[in-house]
Amino acid sequence: MSAAAGERRPEEVKSAARVLEVLELLGADGARLSLAELAGAMSVPRSSLHAVLRTMEGRGWVDVDSQGTRYSLGLKALMTGTAYLEGDDVVSLAGPVLDALAEETGEAVHLTRLAGADVVYLAKRESRHALRMYSPVGHRLPAHATAPGKAVLARHEPGEVDRMLNWPLPQLTPDTVTDPAALAAQLEEARLRGWALDDGESSPGVRCVAVALGTDDQGGDALSCSAPASRMDERRTGEIALAVTEAAHSLRTLLKRLGQH
């Protein structure tokens, strides 16, 4: 179970922890929060938090609206996030593989990474169709509700999966699997066939298949392909799963040569 906002580990420096908590809260779905909302979420006095926010604003890490009442992430946060992607060898190597997979399938393809109990989208190629899913780079979703998350979780033993996730599991759509036994069955199926499926579990009406990239149980990256269920029937799902599997093998080969996975 991850620590709640405002809960500080004994070894953390209080001022540094507060700065990081502000960034994490503002980074959640592009939130714009007031001083009162931030202070309440962090369980800290408004007066001391206001001084932290002023410092972060002065250095470009947070922006404040024209009324001076609501805060959001600043340009420095974007620059740092972009530098992370530019310096990541997996993201760099995945570019041509994503291009080829998007061209072959005509659908949206993604590179994701497990971050705690969630997956984060690191790279994306858009579908050629007008009807598309919302999955921008930096978007974060609970791992248990996504195909890439389940593909990575399936590489771990059941007991370890239980420790990795935050229980009770959040339900994003009516089809999200939150029952431990049902999720365990999904992960076992993913282990057997080599790819995982999200059938409307993270976004209603959207189907996604994914394959983990890691060559051992430490690998947290995955390739996926998503499309509206109307374009991905059972036959098409199998075809796309094969394409993603082949793309993952290509990228895995590149990563082995680089010594990353």
* Nearest to 151, CA basis, from 185, 115, 187: 187
Distance between alpha carbon 259 and the CA centroid of its chain, in Å?
24
Helix or strand run (H / E) with residue 64: strand 62-64
CA distance 84 to 132: 26
Q: Which long-range contacts (CB under 8 A, 24 or more apart) does 31-40 make?
A: 31/72, 32/65, 32/70, 32/71, 32/72, 33/70, 33/71, 33/72, 34/69, 34/70, 34/71, 35/69, 35/71, 38/71
Domains and CATH numbers, the chain: 14-79 (1.10.10.10), 88-258 (3.30.450.40)
C-alpha dist (Å) from residue 62 to 4, 34, 41, 261: 22, 12, 17, 35
Question: Cβ(240)–Cβ(105) under 8 Å?
Answer: yes
Helix or strand run (H / E) with residue 160: helix 158-164
CA distance 122 to 85: 7
Secondary structure percentages of the chain, helix, strand, coil, to 5: 45, 20, 35
The whole-number pLDDT of residue 29 equals 67
The whole-number pLDDT of residue 5 equals 46
CA distance 197 to 29: 24
| Two structure tokens written together for 226 | 């998503």
Alpha helical stretches, state H, 59-141: 75-86, 89-105
The whole-number pLDDT of residue 261 equals 52
CA distance 70 to 64: 6
Tens-binned pLDDT, residue by residue, of the chain (261 aa): 344 444 555 578 988 999 999 999 998 767 799 999 999 999 999 999 999 999 999 999 999 999 989 999 999 998 998 888 888 889 999 999 999 999 999 999 999 999 999 999 999 999 998 766 667 888 899 999 999 999 999 999 999 999 999 999 999 999 999 999 999 999 999 999 999 999 999 999 999 999 999 755 447 999 999 999 999 999 999 999 999 999 999 998 988 888 755
